[in-house]
């Protein structure tokens, strides 16, 4: 594909490339560079050619939302319709149920409610940690027995 001509970028192939770059996280400036144009040209083309603008939006935003929705749906469980073939060879629609996915639930909670669901909790302790135990009243035999119990 020749670089720099908008007509070649509004083809199905060109739009798929642009959408893919956007989905990969490239900025408009990086996408313009890949297209062989300066960013200002890309901005002008986006204004004049809605296909370019839509490809960039779909790559950047819509796909993220679609994945978020799919993850949430998987985490909660869902019903769906599926074609099934009967013993007579007829095709009928059958309702199926996909159970909630625990891994999706964990992923969602660890990312959306990080302070509550992270693996490692930070615990702050206030007050004295100076716990003095008075052993002065114990005999040598009692101290040896306590030391022996600690080593077991």
pTM, entire model: 0.47
Residue 133 confidence class, pLDDT cut points 50, 70, 90: confident
Task: Return the domain boundaries, the chain.
Answer: 6-64, 77-111
The answer to whether 74 and 98 are in contact (CB under 8 A) is: yes
Q: In the predicted model, is pLDDT for residue 91 greater than 80?
A: yes
Which tokens go with 151? 């080593």
Calpha distance 21→111 (Å, rounded): 25
The secondary structure of residue 4, as a DSSP letter, is S
DSSP string computed for 63-109? HHHHHHHHHHHHHH-EEEEEEEE-TTS-EEEEEEEEPP-HHHHHHHH
The answer to whether 8 and 35 are in contact (CB under 8 A) is: no
Q: What is the pLDDT of residues 65-83, one digit of tens each?
A: 888 999 999 999 999 999 9
Q: What is the pLDDT of residue 152?
A: 64
């Amino acid at each position: 594909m020749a670089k720099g001509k908008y007509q070649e970028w509004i083809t199905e192939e060109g739009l798929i490339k642009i959408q893919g770059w956007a989905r990969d996280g490239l900025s408009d400036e990086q996408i313009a560079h890949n297209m062989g144009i300066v960013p200002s040209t890309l901005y002008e083309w986006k204004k004049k050619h809605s296909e370019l603008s839509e490809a960039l939006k779909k790559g950047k935003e819509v796909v993220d939302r679609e994945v978020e929705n799919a993850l949430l749906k998987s985490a909660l469980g869902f019903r769906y319709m599926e074609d099934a073939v009967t013993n007579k060879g007829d095709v009928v629609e059958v309702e199926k149920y996909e159970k909630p996915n625990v891994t999706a639930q964990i992923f969602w909670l660890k990312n959306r409610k990080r302070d509550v669901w992270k693996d490692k909790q930070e615990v702050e302790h206030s007050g004295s940690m100076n716990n003095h135990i008075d052993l002065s009243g114990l005999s040598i035999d009692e101290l040896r027995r306590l030391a022996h119990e600690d080593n077991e």
